[in-house]
Amino acid sequence: MVPRPSSGEQFRRLLAVASLAVALAVAFGGMVWVQTSGAGADHVYFAVGAAIVTLALSAILLHAAFFPGKAATISFAAALGIVLAGWTWQRAAFSLLISHGSPEAGYMAGEAVTPAGIHARHLVLDLPAVTVTVLLILLLLFGIASAWRHKARWSVCLMVLWWLVLTAVFELPSLYWILRK
């Protein structure tokens, strides 16, 4: 028979699960705020930054409550690093390819009918998104394998949810530029 966790352990687990819900609420609440308030790109970065901080705290709490071992810690930290690298890649490509700093020419809104617009959209949005998503999937598989080895069977569902929220948060700035008219 499996021993029942103590009340302190139950509270830590509940807090870890709740932190994931808070991270999701911060991410999507921030994006709704940005879209409805007519705020600029600086507000998008603030909303996404708040979401990343809550996701990092959630990863710490999830690791402490459900995922023993260093491999899970490495996979959570690497996933956050990959997302930050993906945003850096998008920002650098945007700065290099769209010199006037504004996507008014239809680079982002799906209206890119010129070869230059299609190429810019590919390098600024599509290529980084696909690359980061593939790397996140590989890291998720690594994290799942690690958690499974440590007998954290049902907790893997929480890991998958955390990764889905992280992927959604990564896509939020791109979504902002695509939806902006």
pLDDT digits (tens, 9 = 90+) for 69-79: 788 889 999 99
Asked whether residue 74 is assigned to any structural domain, the reply reads yes
Query: 35-48 in b/e burial notation, b at 16+ Cβ within 10 A?
Result: eeeeeeeeebbebb
Asked whether residue 149 is assigned to any structural domain, the reply reads yes
Q: Is 113 exposed, middle or buried (0-12, 13-18, 19+ CB in 10 A)?
A: exposed
Range of the domain at 167: 7-179
Beta-carbon contacts of residue 158 (< 8 Å; ≥ 6 apart): 16, 17, 20, 62, 66
Indicate the DSSP class of residue 114. Answer: S
Cα gap 118→97, rounded to integer Å = 11
Question: Within a 13 Å sphere around the CA of 30, how many CA atoms are in the beta-carbon half?
Answer: 27
pLDDT of res. 55: 93
Asked whether residue 144 is assigned to any structural domain, the reply reads yes
Banded pLDDT at 100 (limits 50, 70, 90): low
Asked whether residue 14 is assigned to any structural domain, the reply reads yes
pLDDT for 24 beyond 50: yes
Asked whether residue 1 is assigned to any structural domain, the reply reads no
Asked whether residue 42 is assigned to any structural domain, the reply reads yes
Query: 141-150 in b/e burial notation, b at 16+ Cβ within 10 A?
Result: ebbbebbeee
Asked whether residue 34 is assigned to any structural domain, the reply reads yes
Domains of the chain: total: 1
Asked whether residue 2 is assigned to any structural domain, the reply reads no
Highest-confidence range of 74-78, 95-99, 101-105, by mean pLDDT? 74-78
| Cβ pair 136, 79 in contact under 8 A | yes
Output the CA–CA distances (angstroms, integers) from residue 24 to 19, 49, 121, 162, in the order listed.
Answer: 9, 13, 27, 9
What's the pTM value of the predicted model, to 2 decimals? 0.82
